[in-house]
Structure 1
Amino acid sequence: MRPLDPRLLRYASATRGTLAAGAVLAALQTASIVAFAWLVTDVIVRAIAGERLPELSGTLVLLGVVIAVRAVLLWAVDAVASRGGARAVGQLRERLVTAVGRLGPGWTSRRTSADVTLVAGRGMEALDGYFAKYLPQLIGTAVATPLLVVTIGWRDVTSAIVLLVTLPLIPVFMVLVGWATQAAQQRQWTALSRLSSGFLDVVAGLPTLKLFGRQHRQEARIREVSEQYRVHTMRVLRMSFLSGFVLELAASLSVAVIAVTIGLRLLGGSLDLSVGLFVLLLAPEAFLPLRNVGASYHAAAEGIEAAARAFAVIEEAEAVDGAAQQEGTSRVASETSGLVFEDVTVAYDGRTAVDGFSATALPGELTVLRAPSGAGKSTLLAAALGFVAFEGNIVADGRVDAGGRREALAWAGQRPGLLAGTIAENVALGEEHPDAELVARVLHEAAADELDPETVVGAGGSGMSGGQAQRVAVARALYRLRSRGCRILVLDEPTSALDARTEERLVAGLRRIAAEGVAVLVVSHREAVASAAGRVITLEARQEVAHVG
């Protein structure tokens, strides 16, 4: 990410207001700095000339006012940066979460949950340092430094020339240090991702590790990754201290050059004391923003790396949305009901997952999609939901756009995806005021009427069996079907964890729902489900053959 990535303005609009307010405050700060230097110079020169304290009192009072104004402006800069940064980080996090939702479960399944949560959590929090420390100094460099150089040049051209020659040295050092820091920060972030992912994997698989007596080997692995993270973190800190020293040295030597030239000219009588003292007070202020930018870059480096990763996710989601918007006009009439796949091809990661698939799930019929593992069943469903880019056409209840298809579908995936809360809250997911009668009805239709809607479950459905969690997920899809009037129901392996009797009850319920005029498409390997279907579609690897039962 560049010092100020244009994508930040695009995805976090609050950044624009922060930049505008920061520029105004930086200009006011520069004016107060010039006023302070002018008044201090005036007081010293007049005191040397022999004026007494009463004669200087008016200027001293004005100097006190300027000092108070500078303090207020410093507070205002911090307040604007912190508040604007909080809003911008919130907007960016919202865009990131929305992008993950658009990319869908197919995208998240190819990544560890730690990668996503690390960027959305710690990564976004690290951006606070970027907005609170780095961005104000960057604005100050863009606004204050040119104004101060012009002011110094107005009073003393020679000192302004020295400034123009020495100032570029600091950006050169900053670029060199920035490259090294960026590489070190990337390695640190990668180590942190590995540490987070490894720890979560160990926690999730701890029962299996204990069973096979391999928990101690994982302990050693986590210790090794933790040590790598410590080493990379210390390298970043070492670069931070060394770069701070280099920037301070360069700025101090540059100011010293100006001070020496002013001293020599004062001794030679070619420069007035008031001019020399005024320039000498302003020279360090001209270097200060650049020095602070270099020093604060390291505090913002982690947030910058996280923002770059967040931008990559957001842009990937936009690419998927763009591909969906460019889908060709379907040859299937827009009035067509049910779920229609027309010559659908899906390719990702350099391979073709589905090639030229065509099939239809009609209203009033239970349709079962069967295929060997890896043939692309779940990929087809992800494409229908708008989570995967594809070629061809998919029509859901007459809607060809991704958003329209999602509105027309009620869906339950292979993983129940339950949240911590009551069963009723999971069934009526997202509803502010769940319909208790409807919750009870859909639990009955999902063959889960033995479950109490007020039972509290943990994250991921902990406290329930796999079959119970599966039926609650089906009930959630049915609740959406009933409450929103959807006409298409899609279920991915809804009976894989059920016994034969419960499976028979659920399948009977699905047949009754189909008889109401709903297009029901079930992905399943189970023979009992296929035998109850009105239509069975067999998808072979890279091809499909449809059989009507």
Structure 2
Amino acid sequence: MSQTDTETRGARASRAPIDPRLLRRARAMRGFLALGGLLGLLQTASIIGFAWFVSVLVTGAIDGQSVAELSGSFAALAAMVLLRAFTVWAMDAAAAAGAARVKSQLRVSVLAGIRKLGPSWTAQRGSAATATLVGPGLDALDGYFGKYLPQLILTAIATPLLVIAIFLNDWLSALIVAIALPVIPLFMVLIGMATQAVQRKQWDALQHLSGSFLDVVGGLATLKIFGRERRQLTRIRTVTESYRSETMKVLRLSFLSGFVLELAGSLSVALIAVTIGLRLLDGDLTLGVGLFVLILAPEVFLPVRNVGAQYHAAAEGVTAAADVFDVLEQAEALPKQQTAAAASTAAPSTAVAAARGGTLRLQDLSVHRGDRLIVDRFSAEFEPGTLSVLAGPSGAGKSTILAALLGFVPFDGTVSLGGLHALRRDDVAWSGQNPALGSGSVAENVALGGRLAPGSAERAELLERSMRLAVASGIDPELTLGVGGAGLSGGQAQRVGLARAFYRWQERSTPVLLLDEPSSALDAETEARLLGSLREAADAGAIVIVVSHRQAVLAGADRIVWLETVHVD
């Protein structure tokens, strides 16, 4: 599926009153629509009942009926008021609950899709844009469920029923309503098309602002070192001004559309009121029927007008949801065989367990990034118990091969472990160039994703052994780190990341240990001790593959696989 096809289908779906992809991908949506339909039917009944009993009470009072004679109508009118109040409250409660469930389901789905697409896709899109989409973007669905969708349901149910009720009492007023009513949806379509364009620009501006702010925060230390931190003020100010400008365009369009819809609805109701007044004077219409129709007429136009007004509250959430569906469709478009380590993480079968002691084979592995060929038909075999080093110039595709083995990038070719064309996540322990540490203790970072219970003796023993293998025994496991692992030097952070890989290798008995430039921030003595740990892992039967250009690592390897940069004519 091409990106253009995805965008075209997403644009068509976002222009629909209800995106059909919401119904397919969020099961909670269907329950909300069913409940909303029932509540909308009850609310319509309360509106008709209210108009009927008000007209009965007014005409009865004019005819001289006593309060006692009208008490039944008063009670019925109060019941209609309470019923309408209950349905409005119930619709709000159902909308809040439905929004929470749908957002939860979509977040689970999109996170799974992002996981399948891998870090390379996230890096290309931008982590800030992805976080904005999964966080504030989906939170904007509250406006869609809380304001827009209830009005849409009420419009679909109430409008035709109210028109029928008017027709049964006065066909001429119903004819005027039928002629005037389509004018409002026509304005809504035109306004909706304009709103979609400006809302998309606002959403893009918000993602750009998030990415720019994240870039500045991430590089603030470097900027301060070179005294350039204040120069970023202009950049942030420019991006913020762009977002403010796009937001104001959305607000101006919202106010303008509200005015147009109110004007169209008011003129339509006024036309009905004038005709009813003239016919009452001529005696062609009774007062009871006239009052009943006159009370119902604004209620016919009110849901339609509210749908147009609330569309703007929902537009941001609809735009974000369309982006979510595009992410899911991109993930589903990936061929299953092109995500090696993205296979099932369920307990291994007997055949898979037997394959863990076998050779890791890469056959004609090719990786593209856009139109660029990074790795061209790479083939190699890695035996258990060996320490292999992938070496070569920068840009030769060393880290890309590791990313393919981890399932982070799609590839062509085959990867097999012990003869099986599947490399499972539980088959791999790895550490990248960026240790990617988070807030919490060193021990929590090392045991991230582990299965052993915190505080258990087995976990403590495994932590100690992993820290020793990573030459990180001098780092206090209880040391609390800040955001991004703040509190450690570059070399210490690298060793904590290595300890995490050793922890996983030992806890899950992974047959493959992948390390990307594990000693780039280490001194010679620490590097030599780390090489001893890698040799220990290989002697234990692991397939150890290291990306490195360091001479000490190359000298200590059992095998060196040299890669050359791919040249495309």
Q: TM-score range by the shorter chain?
A: over 0.9
- Residue aligning to 1:406: 425
- Residue aligning to 1:341: 362
- Do residues 526 (structure 1) and 567 (structure 2) align? no
Of the three residues 501, 517, 520, the one matched with 1:496 is 520
How far apart are 1:134 and its partner, in Å? Answer: 0.9
1:398–1:258 CA distance, 2 compared to 1 (3 A): farther
Inter-partner Cα distance in structure 2 for 1:345 and 1:154: 72
What are the ranges of 5 or more consecutive residues in structure 2 without an aligned counterpart?
1-13, 342-350
Of the three residues 163, 177, 181, the one matched with 1:149 is 163
Inter-partner Cα distance in structure 1 for 2:340 and 2:518: 33
Q: Quick one: which amino acid aligns to residue 444 of structure 1?
A: R
Inter-partner Cα distance in structure 2 for 1:158 and 1:340: 81
Inter-partner Cα distance in structure 2 for 1:222 and 1:40: 59
| 8 Å Cα contact 1:524/1:530 also seen in 2 | yes
Alignment of 1:72-471 (within 5 A): 72-320=86-334, 322=336, 324=338, 335=355, 337-401=358-422, 404-431=423-450, 433-434=453-454, 435-471=459-495
Inter-partner Cα distance in structure 2 for 1:496 and 1:529: 10
1:425–1:244 CA distance, 2 compared to 1 (3 A): same
- Residue by residue over 1:17-38, the C-alpha shift from the partner in whole angstroms, topping out at 9 and shown as x without a partner, is 1111111111111111111111
- Residue aligning to 2:535: 511
How far apart are 1:365 and its partner, in Å? Answer: 0.8
Inter-partner Cα distance in structure 2 for 1:45 and 1:399: 85
| 8 Å Cα contact 1:396/1:488 also seen in 2 | no
- Residue aligning to 2:346: none
- Residue aligning to 1:38: 52
- Do residues 485 (structure 1) and 504 (structure 2) align? no
TM score, norm. by length of structure 2: 0.90
How far apart are 1:156 and its partner, in Å? Answer: 2.3
Inter-partner Cα distance in structure 2 for 1:370 and 1:279: 84
TM score, norm. by length of structure 1: 0.93
| 8 Å Cα contact 2:340/2:406 also seen in 1 | no
Inter-partner Cα distance in structure 2 for 1:372 and 1:9: 50
Q: Quick one: which amino acid aligns to residue 218 of structure 1?
A: Q
What are the ranges of 5 or more consecutive residues in structure 1 without an aligned counterpart?
328-332, 544-549
- Residue by residue over 1:58-78, the C-alpha shift from the partner in whole angstroms, topping out at 9 and shown as x without a partner, is 110111111111111111011
- Residue aligning to 1:330: none
How far apart are 1:399 and its partner, in Å? Answer: 4.4
How far apart are 1:322 and its partner, in Å? Answer: 4.5
1:514–1:173 CA distance, 2 compared to 1 (3 A): same
Corresponding residue SS for 1:381: helix
Q: Quick one: which amino acid aligns to residue 452 of structure 1?
A: D
1:84–1:398 CA distance, 2 compared to 1 (3 A): farther
Inter-partner Cα distance in structure 1 for 2:427 and 2:418: 6
Inter-partner Cα distance in structure 2 for 1:323 and 1:63: 66
| 8 Å Cα contact 1:397/1:488 also seen in 2 | no
1:338–1:69 CA distance, 2 compared to 1 (3 A): same
RMSD over aligned Cα, in angstroms?
Answer: 2.1
- Residue aligning to 1:547: none
- Residue by residue over 1:92-145, the C-alpha shift from the partner in whole angstroms, topping out at 9 and shown as x without a partner, is 222222322222222222233221121122212222111111111111111211
Q: Quick one: which amino acid aligns to residue 294 of structure 1?
A: G
Inter-partner Cα distance in structure 2 for 1:374 and 1:13: 45
Percent of aligned positions that are identical:
56
| 8 Å Cα contact 1:396/1:405 also seen in 2 | no
Q: Quick one: which amino acid aligns to residue 290 of structure 1?
A: V
- Residue by residue over 1:271-301, the C-alpha shift from the partner in whole angstroms, topping out at 9 and shown as x without a partner, is 3332222122112111111111111111122
Corresponding residue SS for 1:536: strand
| 8 Å Cα contact 2:340/2:405 also seen in 1 | no
Q: Quick one: which amino acid aligns to residue 345 of structure 1?
A: S
Inter-partner Cα distance in structure 2 for 1:271 and 1:400: 82
How far apart are 1:421 and its partner, in Å? Answer: 0.8
Inter-partner Cα distance in structure 2 for 1:211 and 1:509: 36
Corresponding residue SS for 1:110: helix
Aligned residues: 536
Moved over 4 A (4+): 333-336
